[in-house]
Structure 1
Amino acid sequence: MPLLELDGLHLQAGARTLVAPLSLRIEAGEQVALIGASGAGKTSLLHAMALALAPAAGSLRLAGEDAWSMSSSDRHWLRRELMLAPQQPPLPPRQRVATAVLAGRLPGASFARSLRMLFSPDEAQARLAFEALDRLELGDRLWSRVDQLSGGERQRVAIARLLVSQARLWLADEPLSALDPQRAERVLAVLQGAARAQDRTLVCSLHQVDLACRVFPRVIALREGRLVYDGPPQGLGARQLDEIYADLLNEPPSAPQDAALAATPPQAMCR
């Protein structure tokens, strides 16, 4: 039985289609890269997988449960199976980094244990947070306040939260966007290694197409909200990549990252 199963899932915002009806099966333990130009629907799809965005049509089953046929309280309980690391993690500015990381352990924790983790983590909890941060080259930030962190450090705190969570499904939305290329590769290696070691399922959206094709065994590509490819990276040809990134190549770059992508021929990205 797949861990995550989407059947004819359609996402809508008013009259605007976010994601056209699509069907996907993601097995337990899989690692999947989600690619596409900005506005292709990657974030919307990840939010739907995180049960944060209700479908206009179709169904989503997580761990065998039809999420949107359940009561809201049962669906809230089902969310313990997943953890989402958004591109811009909403971390309270005055919160300590240790507390921000340990929030990944809150789903399923008792009320008393949750209070201890949030306000007075014990030695074992602090050690857990430190080890996750240290793997991401942030061990020295354990007791810093969130508002003292750079954007890239905040992204790594969100990834550390994934590492300590007990969720079976890890969803990461552009987790490398604020990192330099060398650190991005190291962070992704940590994330993938932890997912394998803990038998977690990882779905990760990336703008770094060459990296996605190099290290993920399965790539899902969206264009204008439509599924245009699902399979091994070796199957992505130059013509498909040209179509996926046509808008990006035809428009002037608006940011350094877009400029780097525009300078890279799509047909070279998945060789």
Structure 2
Amino acid sequence: MPLLELDGLHLQAGTRTLVEPLSLRIEPGEQVALIGASGAGKTSLLHALALALQPAAGTLRLAGEDAWSLSSRDRHRLRRTLMLAPQHPPLPPRQRVATAVLAGRLPGASMAESLRMLFSPDEAQARLAFEALDRLELGNRLWSRVDQLSGGERQRVAIARLLVARAGLWLVDEPLSALDPQRAQRVLSVLQDTARAQDRTLICSLHQVDLACRTFPRVIALRRGRLYYDGPPQDLGGRRLDELYDDLLNEPPAAEADALPPAAPPQAMCR
């Protein structure tokens, strides 16, 4: 049985279409990269998969359950089986990093365990948070406040939160946008290796097309809200990739970007 099954899923915001009706199946333990130009519908789709955005039409089944035919209480229960890591994690500025990471453990935790994690983590909980942070080169930030972190460090704290979560489905939105290329590759490797070792299902949206094609066995591409491609990365290249990003490539460059070197052509990235 697929973990996720979408049948004619259609997403709207008012009268504006976010994602055209699409059908997908994602099996347990799969690792999938979600790519496409800005505004293609990637974030909207991830929020729908996280049961945070109700479809205008179609069905979404998670672990065999039709999510939007359930009661609010049962849908909340189903949400505990997944975790969404947004591109800009909403971390309270005065919160300690240890507490921010351990928040990933709150779904399904007892009241006593939750209170300890939020106000006074015990030794085992602190060790869990430290180990996740240390894998992301942030072990020395365990007791720092969130407002003392850079944007890239905050992104890695959100990934550490994911690494300690009990959720079986990880939905990750642009986790590398504030990281330099070398660190981005290391962080993605930690994320994928952990998901594989723990038998988690990983769906990750990326603007780094080269990384997506090099490290994920399956790539789903959205173009203008439509499913454009779904398959192995080796079959996505050349004209296909040019067309996927044609809206982006045809945009006039921003004034402040005039001094930057031109980006590598997308077709060079997926070969």
TM value normalised by structure 1? 0.97
Partner of residue 229, structure 1: 229
1:253 and 1:259 in contact (8 A); partners too: no
- For the residues of structure 1 that align with 2:253 and 2:198, how far apart are their CA atoms? 39
For 1:35-114, what aligned pairs fall within 5 Å after superposition? 35-114=35-114
For 1:1-271, what aligned pairs fall within 5 Å after superposition? 1-254=1-254, 263-271=263-271
SS in 2 for 1:263: coil
Q: Any idea what the Cα deviations from partners look like across 1:109-165, whole Å, max 9, x if unmatched?
A: 111211111011100000000000000000000000000000000000000011000
**Cα gap change, 1:92/1:152 in structure 2, threshold over 3 Å: closer, same or farther?**
same
Instruction: State the shift of 1:6 in Å.
Output: 0.8
Runs ≥4 in structure 1, deviation > 2 angstroms? 252-262
- For the residues of structure 2 that align with 1:257 and 1:131, how far apart are their CA atoms? 39
SS in 1 for 2:80: helix
- For the residues of structure 2 that align with 1:24 and 1:168, how far apart are their CA atoms? 18
State the AA in 1 paired with 2:170. Answer: W
Instruction: State the shift of 1:266 in Å.
Output: 1.6
- For the residues of structure 2 that align with 1:259 and 1:46, how far apart are their CA atoms? 34
- For the residues of structure 1 that align with 2:87 and 2:101, how far apart are their CA atoms? 16
- For the residues of structure 1 that align with 2:249 and 2:81, how far apart are their CA atoms? 38
1:253 and 1:262 in contact (8 A); partners too: no
SS in 1 for 2:228: strand
- For the residues of structure 2 that align with 1:103 and 1:261, how far apart are their CA atoms? 41
Instruction: State the shift of 1:107 in Å.
Output: 0.4
SS in 1 for 2:121: coil
- For the residues of structure 2 that align with 1:255 and 1:5, how far apart are their CA atoms? 43
Cα RMSD over matched residues?
Answer: 1.7
- For the residues of structure 1 that align with 2:175 and 2:255, how far apart are their CA atoms? 17
- For the residues of structure 2 that align with 1:50 and 1:81, how far apart are their CA atoms? 10
State the AA in 1 paired with 2:13. Answer: A
User: Which of 79-88 and 259-268 deviates more?
Assistant: 259-268
- For the residues of structure 1 that align with 2:257 and 2:241, how far apart are their CA atoms? 18
The gaps in structure 1 that reach 5 residues or longer are none
- For the residues of structure 1 that align with 2:255 and 2:78, how far apart are their CA atoms? 38
- For the residues of structure 2 that align with 1:20 and 1:256, how far apart are their CA atoms? 34
Instruction: State the shift of 1:253 in Å.
Output: 3.7
SS in 1 for 2:194: helix
State the AA in 2 paired with 1:157. Answer: V
1:96 and 1:142 in contact (8 A); partners too: yes
**Cα gap change, 1:147/1:56 in structure 2, threshold over 3 Å: closer, same or farther?**
same
State the AA in 1 paired with 2:216. Answer: F
Instruction: State the shift of 1:258 in Å.
Output: 11
1:85 and 1:171 in contact (8 A); partners too: yes
SS in 1 for 2:147: helix
- Identity fraction in percent: 86
- For the residues of structure 2 that align with 1:261 and 1:102, how far apart are their CA atoms? 41
1:173 and 1:205 in contact (8 A); partners too: yes
- Say how many residue pairs are matched: 271
